[in-house]
Amino acid sequence: MNSEVEDFDAEAELARKIYECYRFLAGNAGSNEVLIQKIDALAEEHLLSL
């Protein structure tokens, strides 16, 4: 596998794990829907930039 593809795969996996952590934290933040929306938007923006 080419190193650029491996780098992309590693970055995508890291982004996915970070997103899951933020979703877990946001889900435990009570009813703070604004926080969840901001995290969702940041994660989506980051994932789309990969």
Residue-level pLDDT at 30: 61
Cα 3 to Cα 40: distance, rounded to the nearest angstrom: 29
pTM: 0.49
Question: Which pLDDT score is estimated for 34?
Answer: 72
Domain total of the chain: 1
What is the extent of the structural domain holding 17? Answer: 3-49
Token couple for 48 = 């789309």
Handedness of CA 15, 19, 25, 29 (dihedral sign): positive
Residues of the chain with pLDDT below 70 are 1, 28-32, 50
Q: Tell me how far the alpha carbon of residue 35 is from its chain's centroid.
A: 14
Which value, in Å, is the radius of gyration of the alpha carbons in the chain?
13
